[in-house]
Chain A
Amino acid sequence: MNCENRKRPFGLCVFIALPFLLTINTGWGKPPLKHSSVLEVGSAQALKTLREALAVADSGDVLRVHPGTYPETGLVVSKPLTLRGIGKPVLDAHGLGALLVITANDVHVTGFVFKNVGISYVRDQAALGFVNARDVRIDSNRFDHNFFSIYGARSSGAFIENNDITGLYGHEVANGNGIHLWQCDSMTVRGNHVRGHRDGIYLEFTGNSDVTNNLAEGNIRYGLHFMFSNGSRYAANVFRNNGSGVAVMYSNKIRMEDNRFERNWGSAAYGLLCKGIEDSEVRRNVFEENTVGIFQEGLSRVHFEGNAFIRNGWAIRILADCDDNLYEGNRFAGNTFDVSYNSSMHNSNVFRGNSWDKYRGYDLNHDGRGDIPYRPVELQSSLMDHYPEALALMRSHFLTLLNLLEKQFPVLAPKSLEDDSPLFPPKAGS
């Protein structure tokens, strides 16, 4: 009681003082308009170049940059400013170093075209970087032919939205990442389109972040690459046709929802490569036409629910160091192999209530569940896990024969690896 009485006036104080504190310190709030002014930049304006404008601008100013090409490198934004491109002005690095680096909080960059940042094997030079910055906002820009496009480090709370990013294509050694975030926190990456980079979107040590509604296609290595980034969520993204798909490694409490993983096809390509993931959720994703839908190594307590695996080589490859994962209500259709598992001894993963197009059971009591269990690990796929050279015998009639035998007398896959309440796949045509 006593305690609360003392606290309340203090909280009230902070509440009232907050806008004043903020206006004084950062110029973040709208009210102090007398401080913030609009600077026009352009060949026909008083300020000819962005460099001049950045030098004279005060905190809180808005720089309106008019159409034209601005050959620049090494610009630094060290004050909270708004950089607004009018009619898509072009910042062109002409193959030289980095274009623009943000070192202040609350900077907003919108409506620009960033071009031609050169390749460096020494520095990770980017078209637009931000370092030690809070609440940066980067939206509706276009990035063309840059080594790295957006590069954030040791920052938090940034919004990276609706940017259109095209990389260098070419070889992965001479190519940077589209959106690269390192040691950041609480980032939002939304609605971007990334292609032709090494990794489309790359997060390392970047926790509590949100990656949603992005499209990453045709990147040389991974569409999304995600390491040591706990508590992040990625949802409703499309990852298509990337060199090796999407890689998620060494993170826990991750949520992956409603994404599409399409056409990651090649001898070392995965829809989703998961390694060292714990306590996470993978729901309602679609994996279509990948060599391997999900490759799983060292996964614990991950819940796979309501995903669809369609026409993949392997829908799921599980290494035996995965434990206590749950696969429920997923749909498997048209995959060459549904599940492979590389041990015949131990298994603590649970499959239940999935629908399998290869299931040939019956439902006598009409509860919608098959009465005999489905065993998703075919002899064929376990053999090939143990002896990869045996893949040369794929589609041979000898293996077909073996498969038939294994169905009757299982020996290779652990007994516990079965779905004891399989759903019936939807009827063809429905």
Chain B
Amino acid sequence: MGQIFRYCFWDLLRSRFILAYFGFFLAGSMGIFRFSPSASAAFGALLSAVILLAPLCCQIYGTLYFYQSRGFHELMFAQPIGRIPLCLGQFLALSAALGLAFLMAVGIPMAAYGFSAGGDVRLLMVFVGGGLLLHFIFLALAFLVAVSVEDRLRGFSTSLVIWLTLVFGYDALVMALVMKFSDYPLETPVLAAMLLNPVDLERVLVLMHLDSAALLGYTGASFQKFFGTVLGTWVSLGALLMWIIAPLLLFLRKLTRKDW
């Protein structure tokens, strides 16, 4: 697995997609940090980009990557190496490559413009750590889709639907429910809803550390009370990790049972 990881990782670092992804994010975050009036505004703008684009890119490229490895898989399956180490190695390599691209694309401008998140280390940790986890989550989902759906076209559309659902559809549903049940106290249900969607969770976690947290009023206060505690931090980390582990386990299960 280690060898597969090394091989795939170095191979990926030279791929045009990763370079383009890195370049795009670098240019974007450079621009944002250069022109934002404050660190808080910069992180707000960057957050919007990350929660929209990182899931999309990971989902699409992850699916594509797995489909394109078909020949490689068939070749390797003839060798004395299990399916699980092979594909897990690929997954880790892809995660590491995209994660590294993201890390550098965000980190270089921060270092260049001296934005240490306004001295807020927690904001930095939540933003970068959460961003990385988002990459892993959507890559895991992408692999799961690719291994379950044989037809590439259907695979891609499934991936897109997953992205649309988590980024737009889920929030629409939450909004609808909030409107429907507006007569009831909704702080806790909304909080739970935010915990269940990794994109929302990352958004809320970062938002809590920005100036705009004050705009959230009463809802924000109850959020702050939860995310401010040690328990809240562990629960949200757990929720994000569950979103990696669950699809990965499913993926491995499907992988071992798949009839190539």
Question: Hey, which bits of chain A sit against chain B, CB under 8 A?
Answer: 265-269, 291, 311, 313-314, 334, 336, 383, 386-401
Q: Assuming the A-B contacts A387-B182, A398-B172, A401-B168, are A392 and B216 also in contact, with contact meaning beta carbons closer than 8 angstroms in the complex?
A: yes
In angstroms, how far is the closest chain B Cβ from the Cβ of A97?
A: 39
B47 and A395 contacting across the interface, CB-CB below 8 Å: yes
- When distances are taken between beta carbons in the complex, the residues of chain A under 8 Å from B203 are 395-396
Task: Report the separation of the CA atoms of residues A392 and B178 in the bound assembly, to the nearest whole angstrom.
Answer: 10
- When distances are taken between beta carbons in the complex, the residues of chain B under 8 Å from A390 are 175, 178-179
Q: Per-residue 0/1 for B146-184: is the Cβ within 8 Å of any A Cβ (1 yes, 0 no)?
A: 000000000000000000000110011011001100100
- When distances are taken between beta carbons in the complex, the residues of chain A under 8 Å from B220 are 267, 391
Cβ of B221 within 8 Å of any chain A Cβ, yes or no, is yes
Cβ of B93 within 8 Å of any chain A Cβ, yes or no, is no
Identify the interface centre among B174, B182, B190, B216: most chain A CB within 10 Å of its CB: B216
Cβ of B145 within 8 Å of any chain A Cβ, yes or no, is no
In angstroms, how far is the closest chain A Cβ from the Cβ of B45?
A: 10
Task: Report the separation of the CA atoms of residues A129 and B168 in the bound assembly, to the nearest whole angstrom.
Answer: 62
Q: Assuming the A-B contacts A313-B212, A395-B47, are A267 and B175 also in contact, with contact meaning beta carbons closer than 8 angstroms in the complex?
A: no
A389 and B214 contacting across the interface, CB-CB below 8 Å: no
B217 and A267 contacting across the interface, CB-CB below 8 Å: yes
Interface residue total, chain B, C-beta cutoff 8 A: 36
A267 and B218 contacting across the interface, CB-CB below 8 Å: yes
A396 touches which of B171, B221, B223 (Cβ 8 Å):
B171
A291 and B215 contacting across the interface, CB-CB below 8 Å: yes
B200 and A291 contacting across the interface, CB-CB below 8 Å: no
A393 touches which of B174, B191, B212 (Cβ 8 Å):
B174
- When distances are taken between beta carbons in the complex, the residues of chain A under 8 Å from B37 are 311, 334
- When distances are taken between beta carbons in the complex, the residues of chain A under 8 Å from B212 are 313, 336, 394-395
In angstroms, how far is the closest chain A Cβ from the Cβ of B31?
A: 15
A389 and B190 contacting across the interface, CB-CB below 8 Å: yes
Cβ of B204 within 8 Å of any chain A Cβ, yes or no, is yes
Question: Hey, which bits of chain B sit against chain A, CB under 8 A?
Answer: 37, 44, 47-48, 51-52, 167-168, 171-172, 174-175, 178-179, 182, 186-187, 190-191, 193-194, 200, 203-204, 207, 211-212, 214-221, 223
B187 touches which of A314, A334, A389, A398 (Cβ 8 Å):
A389
A388 and B194 contacting across the interface, CB-CB below 8 Å: no
Task: Report the separation of the CA atoms of residues A393 and B197 in the bound assembly, to the nearest whole angstrom.
Answer: 12
B219 and A389 contacting across the interface, CB-CB below 8 Å: yes
Q: Assuming the A-B contacts A387-B178, A391-B220, are A267 and B47 also in contact, with contact meaning beta carbons closer than 8 angstroms in the complex?
A: no
Q: Assuming the A-B contacts A386-B182, A389-B186, A391-B220, are A396 and B200 also in contact, with contact meaning beta carbons closer than 8 angstroms in the complex?
A: yes
Task: Report the separation of the CA atoms of residues A389 and B175 in the bound assembly, to the nearest whole angstrom.
Answer: 9
Identify the interface centre among B51, B182, B219: most chain A CB within 10 Å of its CB: B219
Q: Assuming the A-B contacts A265-B211, A313-B212, are A395 and B44 also in contact, with contact meaning beta carbons closer than 8 angstroms in the complex?
A: yes
Beyond A393-B174, A395-B207, A400-B48, 14 additional pairs, beta carbon < 8 A: A291-B215, A311-B37, A313-B215, A386-B179, A386-B182, A387-B179, A389-B178, A390-B178, A391-B215, A392-B174, A392-B194, A394-B207, A395-B212, A397-B167
In angstroms, how far is the closest chain A Cβ from the Cβ of B103?
A: 22
- When distances are taken between beta carbons in the complex, the residues of chain A under 8 Å from B217 are 267-268, 388, 391
B174 and A388 contacting across the interface, CB-CB below 8 Å: no
A398 touches which of B175, B186, B191 (Cβ 8 Å):
B175
In angstroms, how far is the closest chain A Cβ from the Cβ of B191?
A: 8
The 3 closest A-B pairs by CB, nearest first: A398-B171, A313-B215, A389-B186
- When distances are taken between beta carbons in the complex, the residues of chain A under 8 Å from B44 are 395
B219 and A388 contacting across the interface, CB-CB below 8 Å: yes
Task: Report the separation of the CA atoms of residues A396 and B204 in the bound assembly, to the nearest whole angstrom.
Answer: 9
- When distances are taken between beta carbons in the complex, the residues of chain B under 8 Å from A269 are 214
In angstroms, how far is the closest chain A Cβ from the Cβ of B133?
A: 18
A399 and B221 contacting across the interface, CB-CB below 8 Å: no
